[in-house]
Amino acid sequence: MAKTVDQAFSELISKLTPTPMQFEAASKHRQEIESCLDNRLGIFRLFETGSLRHGTGVRNHSDSDFMVSLKGDRPSSDTALARVKSALSARYPLTSIRVSRPAVVCKFWNGDIEVTPAYIRSADGDFSYWIPAPGGDWIISSPDAHNKYVTEVNTRPGISGSAKHMARLLKGWKYFNDVPVSSFYLEMRAAEYISRQSAVVWVYDMCYLFEELRSHGLAAMNDPKRVSGRINPCSSDYSKGISLSKVSSAANRARRALEAYKNEKHADAFTALNLLFNGKFPSRW
């Protein structure tokens, strides 16, 4: 029996969900990294911030992300990154370690781990931190506040689970199509979109969200928690140009899929969705 489009979306979401091995890889290194940075630099805490632990990560694509709250006066962001890289390079001399703002990336054999240096900005309510900005200097971040926002939207009655599923679908589209857009931006856009819905049907809502992203030109969005000001989609104008072109193509394909779905042309809907996800959408049979 042929799968329906709805069943195929459910299958895709399941396939995008990380395996336990990805979580195990992070836990194997966490204690060593924390001890290393505390001994060499002095830290308040090291904690996991990324989508892998938060429930919006993508299998085989999302890294393990840690933020390290450093002691002492805040230097330039270049200096902070260099210090963390130097400390980790001394601990792991045979591991490839590089700076990729806002983090230091450790390429371990069992998965990448990103460590972002941070300095406490405010301890009122949810902690906020200064972290390295994409082009230099510092920006404000509050992982706890943003994770709470996504979770609050995700647990709304009637559409429970939809915010994180939508974020995972958008990130899957990003990775499958090599789109240089921020995963954090996509997650916040997904949650904000779902917060306005009373029901979710994936073939409709993927189309409507991509069309929204195209209509506002992939604009920076206001932080829904009013912590970090504007949330930018890309690290450069060049990356934004590429991303916007791919968003436009995605909106066209999602619209073709929706129109075929509404007209009960199921084979055509699957074809368009397979193009949308660059050959990774589950087959009909």
Lowest mean pLDDT among 23-27, 112-116, 121-125: 23-27
Max alpha carbon distance in the chain (Å)? 64
What secondary structure does DSSP assign to 190-227, as a single string?
Answer: HHHHHTT-SS--HHHHHHHHHHHHHHTTS--EE-TTSS
pLDDT higher than 60, residue 233: yes
Contacts 24+ apart (CB under 8 A), 262-267: 266/2, 266/4, 266/5
Token pair of 95 as six digits? 């591991």
Lowest mean pLDDT among 33-42, 52-61, 213-222: 52-61
d(CA 22, CA 14): 15
With a pLDDT cut of 70, the percent of the chain lying above it is 92
Q: What is the dihedral of CA 143, 145, 149, 151, to 10 degrees?
A: 60
Residues 183-197 have a mean pLDDT of 94
CB atoms within 10 A of CB 185: 20
Total count of residues recorded for the chain: 285
> What is the per-residue pLDDT for 87?
97
Helix, strand or coil for residue 246?
Answer: helix
Taking Cα atoms as reference points, which of 189, 155, 157, 154 lies closest to residue 170?
189
Residue 125 — pLDDT band, cuts 50, 70, 90? low
d(CA 112, CA 77): 22
Residues 15-41 have a mean pLDDT of 83
Kindly report the average pLDDT of the chain as a whole number. Answer: 90
DSSP3 helix / strand / coil % (the chain, rounded to 5) = 50, 15, 35
Taking Cα atoms as reference points, which of 163, 161, 122 lies closest to residue 144?
122
Cα→Cα distances 3→20, 25, 278, 279, 284, Å: 27, 34, 19, 17, 5
pLDDT higher than 60, residue 52: no
Provide φ and ψ at 61, rounded to 5°.
Answer: -125, -40
> What is the per-residue pLDDT for 175?
93
Higher pLDDT: 109 or 257? It is 257
Helix, strand or coil for residue 128?
Answer: strand
d(CA 285, CA 274): 13
Type of residue numbered 219: A
Q: What is the dihedral of CA 246, 251, 252, 257, to 10 degrees?
A: 130
From first CA to last CA, the distance across the chain in angstroms is 7
* Contact indicator for 176, 168 with CB cutoff of 8 Å: no
Residues 6+ apart with CB under 8 A from 93: none
